[in-house]
Structure 1
Amino acid sequence: MNTAALAGKHVLVTRAIEQAQPLINRIEEVGGIAHVIPLLSFQTIEEAHHIEQVRNSLEHYQWLVFTSANGVRFFFEAFKEDHLRSIIKKANIAVVGHKTEAVLNQYGYQASLLPKHYVAEDLVLVLREHINEGERVLLPRGNLGRTYLPKALSAHGIEVDDLTVYKTVCPDVAKDHIQSLINEHIPLDVITFTSSSAVKHYTQILEGLELEDPFPYARIACIGPIAEKTAQEYHLQVDITASTYTIEGLIEAISTYFKEDENY
């Protein structure tokens, strides 16, 4: 890729602060100017009675399914090693993407199943081929996880326990930071969304500021079809959607868009 593919372009990064750096680095590597306003923050569940219930019955699950790196992190924070032995030794582990797999590896465990595309629909197809009817699946994830995955698995006779191990919130300071960006007249060229939650929080902030389109010349770039669909549902015009649902794929799609735009 041309190292100056985004030369001088102002790009808004909306990822959680602990996840933003890889995207910031790639934007800067291709000549872009990154502006970071995290629209997501992840917190542990304070009232965790449901976690305690699952902790006492871990040995009854045949599968662990992780749909995000955060799901892995918060799961291992919630369950001590002695509790995990009862499930990890005998359960199969499925993950939705390589980043999730990498975090799992950091805890010393290997995934036995990984779909080709990093979306729930592909994960369901793969799991249906490997999980037997009547087997139990533990699905540790955030409070805003899509309902598609547990519903689709349950429809095929697979027992799924949807375990909320963390919650996703919008940082209190995000609204002020967006207002500052507007006040400073930053000419945003691209607004990136790597999750549906970021899209929702962005539109909620604009509603709170009573602003419909504060960045009229900015292109909306989504990491994949799920974020794209959410953006469209919130009446945002999506200009760029990555075909490979990764940070690298997103930067490639944005760079290609501007390269083609320059040819007209």
Structure 2
Amino acid sequence: MVNKFPLSGETVIFTSTKKSEEPFDLVKQLGGSPVSYPLIRTVERICEEDHERLVQAQSYDWLIFTSQSAVAAFKQKLQRFGLEPTNFQLNVAAVGDKTAYALEQMGLGVDFIPEVFSADVFVQQFNPEGDSLRALFIKGNLAGTLISTELSLTVDEWTVYETLPEITSADQIIEIVKDQASVSILFASPSAVTVFKERVAPETGWTGFTIGAIGHITERALREAGAPVHAMPETYTLPELVRTLAESKGRN
């Protein structure tokens, strides 16, 4: 008999910033109790050069976004200076369906998405035709260097947001892990893994709960931190991670 509620009795902790109700609703449908305790938060980086950078951005051939946070910060800058997405008559690349959706909702069409939602796959698959092409990578302060250094076209960077630890969430996660009998913790970025390693793991270790990861980069960060990874979906989204978690629980 198929277990319709494989997450029954399970507290599922999301350590990324809540951007959609879909994964939380899915946990409930599968019998679990979702809670949101982001281990990181993002804030727009505001600089005197922002307007100048926006004007310069319109001269590039491509804009590259790898996160919804970068899209949100870019949108805030447009609004602050009274600019419209229609001012940007260029190509746009996005890593991930959610990032692409955020761009389209803002009014920017998306011309390229890699098959796997990861920067290392992006640099393998993104090879636009043309001579002397220039791209602007719109990023956070913790973004890696792959996109800036491994593409064949010229890439400039613009850091539009900062990623900061959310210490209060770490304390709450410690309480849940110690008090609840069955807990799953889901990670969507290496940054969240770092905060967990520094703020939570010294109190809880890496055992006694189920660990899920989105993407091989996050999985690698967990394993390097000494953690097991029990669930990782082939498609790098939170709903797919929840489904993969449910499948693993249903087999137990």
SS across alignment from 1:75: helix
Letter in 1 for 2:122: L
Provide the rounded CA distance (Å) in 2 between the counterparts of 1:114 and 1:8.
37
* Alignment partner of 1:189 out of 158, 163, 183: 183
Q: Which runs of 5+ in 2 are unaligned?
A: none
Q: 1:165 aligns with which of 154, 160, 178?
A: 160
| Partner residue in 1 for 2:137 | 139
TM normalised by structure 2 equals: 0.89
Deviation at 1:182, TM superposition (A): 4.8
Unaligned runs of at least 5 residues, structure 1: none
Q: Is the 8 A contact 2:86 2:107 kept in 1?
A: no
Asked if structure 2 preserves the Cα contact closer than 8 Å seen for 1:11 and 1:35, the reply is yes
**What amino acid sits opposite 2:39 in the alignment?**
L
Match of 2:110, SS? coil
Q: Which amino acid aligns with 1:38?
A: P
2:146 to 145, 148, 153: 148
Deviates more, 1:119-128 or 1:141-150: 119-128
Q: Give me the whole-angstrom Cα distance separating, in 2, the residues matched to 1:203 and 1:68.
A: 23
The count of residues paired between Structure 1 and Structure 2 equals 249
Task: Give the direction of change, closer, same or farther, for the CA distance of 1:102–1:84 in structure 2 (3 Å limit).
Answer: closer
Partner of 1:177: 172
Q: Whole-Å Cα distance in 2 between the matches of residues 176 and 6 of structure 1?
A: 24
For the aligned residue pairs, the C-alpha RMSD in angstroms reads 2.2
Kept in 1: contact 2:167–2:199 (CA 8 A): no
Shift of 1:133: 4.4
Deviations 1:148-174 (A, max 9, x none): 121111xx2x11111111111112312
CA distance in 1, matches of 2:54, 2:224: 38
- The reply to whether residue 34 of structure 1 matches residue 29 of structure 2 is no
TM-score scaled by length of structure 1: 0.85
SS at match of 2:144: coil
Deviation at 1:20, TM superposition (A): 6.1
Alignment partners' CA distance in 2, 1:57 and 1:160: 13
Once residues 177 and 83 of structure 2 are traced to their aligned partners in structure 1, the CA distance between those partners, rounded to angstroms, is 51
Matched, 1:234 2:234: no
Q: Equivalents in 1 of 2:169, 2:232: separation in Å?
A: 24
Verify the 8 A CA contact 2:3 2:250 in the aligned structure 1.
no
Tell me the secondary structure at the aligned position of residue 165 of structure 1: strand
What is the deviation of 1:50? 5.2
Residues 39 and 167, structure 2, Cα contact 8 Å, conserved in 1: no
Alignment of 1:52-67 (within 5 A): 52-67=51-66
Distance in structure 2 (CA, Å) of the matches to 1:52 and 1:2: 55
Matched AA of 1:134: S
Of 219-228 and 131-140, the range deviating more from structure 2 = 131-140
Distance 1:175 1:114, change over 3 A: closer
SS in 2 for 1:239: coil
